[in-house]
């Protein structure tokens, strides 16, 4: 290529963020409910954002050096993001996850070349977190422990990208932001940004209704290892969703809205609809973290497909 | 004549914090009924609103998924071990 010539095409990293805001027209015809479609990221989930920020900052700080292995606990989406970005930068990736993750998720990770360590499914994601910490403690020179549950660059990625996108995409008219909780990065990052633009914007967090749940990607904070940057006093309101209600919402999104969305998206829709119902003059935005392709083997689809 | 049921950590508070509960042997359906009759708070966590075992729950009898045996009609003998395992990790 000639010196000074503009590079053609885009890199994976350049394609992260800038996802569309969908107007939900059939599952909520009232017209005041919108969802950010995060599967438009190249790794097909919102997790591309924190993964990129975490790895970029790791390199800038010198904590992540050539030859090191990226290590974290993840049930999949963040792992997919690490594996994808790691592949473009030549970093081996080692991921700890519960053995009960969907088989298709495991295949995707292995396709990107990640090493997987499967942990006790009865311990949910906490078992994977403890395993990752153990591995890092045993060999800190070998591993860059990305630590999505404690790394501030997780929520910062949403503060600097997702939040501004949502504000701009609603022309600043957003009144309510509804976020499911996993690491809480989306809630804390987007929520903080939106409140910095207007203190009147209401931030609502959504959790599973019980410690024992089937909502992949979501965390019941009271019964789990709490992410370090989660602030339980931050959201203006806390809501919960029962697993089966989220499953029904997933089917409804596919059949009525043409969106094959993931399980946490179903939970987001359930909660966001309630908020939209209570605030007919408001502009309610939620995030759909990933698409539903990875979850088609889940048994709630058995009687339907 | 009892079988053992391993209780996931998220449900142990409903069975007096026991990680393993002994129940009379029978079919898986009988075992679960027995579990619910003794520990009523488990019902809403194990069954959906239609009275079916919730779809995200996998039940293993001696490490084999009962879906590949006779499902809830699978015979559980004295000394057998049943595991209740959510199929979704609950993480990210």
CATH code of the domain in which A99 resides = 3.40.50.1100
**Contact assessment for residue A266 and residue A234, using Cβ atoms and an 8 Å cutoff:** no
In a domain, A200, yes or no: yes
Instruction: Burial-class residue B67 by CB neighbours within 10 Å (0-12, 13-18, 19+).
Output: middle
The minimal CB distance from B88 to the residues A73, A100, A148 is found for: A100
A222 with A289, same domain: the answer is: yes
Task: Please count the structural domains in chain A.
Answer: 2
Interval B60-76: pLDDT, tens: 999 899 999 999 999 99
Other C-beta atoms lying within 10 Å of the C-beta of residue A274: 16
pTM: 0.93
d(CA B66, CA B72): 7
**Order of strands, sheet of A93-98, starting from the edge strand that comes earlier in the sequence:** A115-119, A93-98, A69-73, A143-145
**ipTM, interface predicted TM-score of the complex:** 0.92
Question: Can you give the residue range of the structural domain that contains A29?
Answer: 13-42+158-301
Q: Within the 2-61 window of chain B, which residues sit less than 8 Å (CB to CB) from chain A? A: 6, 8-11, 45, 48-49, 54-58
Is A206 in the same domain as A295?
yes
Residues A89 and A194 in one domain: no
Tell me the two tokens of residue B79.
Answer: 């000394």
The pLDDT of residue B88 is 63
In angstroms, rounded to a whole number, what is the distance separating the alpha carbons of residues A128 and B12? Answer: 20
Q: Kindly state whether residues A58 and A162 are assigned to the same domain.
A: no
Same domain, A70 and A99: yes
Domain presence at residue A181: yes
Q: Which residue has the tokens 């914007």?
A: A201
Q: Do B87 and A298 touch (CB under 8 A)?
A: yes
Residues of B in contact with A74 (CB under 8 A): 91-92
Q: How many CB atoms lie within 10 A of CB A286?
A: 30
Could you read off the pLDDT of A176-204 as tens digits, one per residue?
Answer: 999 999 999 999 999 999 999 999 999 99
Are A244 and B89 within 8 A, CB to CB? no
Q: Looking at A36, A47, A131, A219, which residue is catalytic? A: A47
**Does residue A88 sit within a domain?**
yes
Are A236 and A117 within one domain?
no
Q: In chain A, what is the straight-line distance between the N-terminal and C-terminal CA atoms, in Å?
A: 51
B91: pLDDT strictly greater than 60: no
Interface touch A212/B10, C-beta < 8 Å: yes
What CA–CA distance (Å, rounded) separates A41 from A17? 6
Do A120 and A173 have their domain in common? no
Q: Is residue A6 part of a domain?
A: no
Q: Is B74 exposed, middle or buried (0-12, 13-18, 19+ CB in 10 A)?
A: buried
> How do the domains of chain B map onto residue ranges?
2-86
- What's the confidence (pLDDT) of residue B92? 44
Interface test with B, best of A50, A119, A212 (most B CBs within 10 A): A212
Task: Report if residue A66 sits inside a domain.
Answer: yes
CATH architecture of B2-86: Roll (3.10)
% of chain A residues with pLDDT over 90:
81
Bigger pLDDT: B72 vs B9? B72
């Amino acid at each position: 290529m000639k010196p000074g010539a503009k590079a053609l095409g885009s890199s994976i990293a350049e394609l992260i963020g800038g996802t569309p805001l969908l107007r939900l027209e059939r599952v909520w015809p009232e017209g005041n409910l919108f969802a950010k479609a995060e599967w438009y990221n190249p790794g097909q989930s919102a997790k591309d954002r924190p993964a990129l920020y975490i790895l970029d900052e790791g390199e800038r700080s010198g904590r992540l050096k050539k030859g090191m292995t990226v290590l974290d606990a993840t049930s999949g989406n963040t792992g997919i993001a690490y594996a994808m970005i790691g592949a473009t930068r030549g970093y081996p990736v080692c991921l700890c996850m519960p053995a009960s993750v969907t088989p298709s998720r495991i295949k995707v990770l292995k396709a990107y070349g990640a090493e997987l360590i499967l942990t006790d499914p009865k311990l949910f994601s906490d078992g994977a977190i403890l395993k990752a910490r153990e591995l890092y403690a045993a060999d800190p020179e070998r591993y860059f422990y990305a630590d999505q549950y404690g790394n501030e660059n997780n929520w910062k990625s949403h503060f600097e990208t997702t939040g501004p996108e949502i504000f701009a995409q609603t022309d600043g008219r957003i009144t309510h932001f509804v976020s499911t909780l996993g690491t809480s990065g989306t809630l804390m990052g987007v929520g903080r940004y939106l409140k910095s633009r207007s203190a009147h914007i209401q931030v609502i967090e959504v959790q599973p209704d019980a410690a024992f749940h089937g909502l992949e990607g979501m965390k019941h904070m009271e019964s789990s290892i709490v992410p370090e940057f989660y602030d339980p006093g931050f959201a203006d309101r806390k809501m919960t969703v029962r697993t089966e209600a989220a499953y029904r919402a997933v089917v409804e999104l596919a059949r009525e809205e043409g969106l094959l969305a993931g399980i946490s998206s179903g939970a987001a829709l359930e909660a966001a609809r309630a908020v939209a119902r209570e605030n007919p003059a408001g502009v309610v935005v939620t995030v759909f973290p990933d698409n539903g392709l990875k979850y088609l083997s889940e048994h709630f689809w058995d009687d339907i497909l | 004549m009892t079988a053992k049921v391993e209780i996931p950590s998220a449900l142990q508070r409903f069975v007096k914090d026991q990680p393993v509960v002994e129940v009379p042997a029978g079919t898986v359906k009988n075992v679960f009924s027995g579990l619910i009759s003794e520990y009523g708070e488990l019902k809403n966590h194990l069954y959906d609103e239609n009275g079916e075992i919730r779809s995200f729950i996998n039940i293993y009898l001696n490490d084999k998924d009962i879906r590949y045996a006779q499902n809830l009609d699978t015979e559980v003998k004295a000394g057998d071990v049943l595991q209740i395992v959510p199929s979704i990790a609950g993480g990210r």
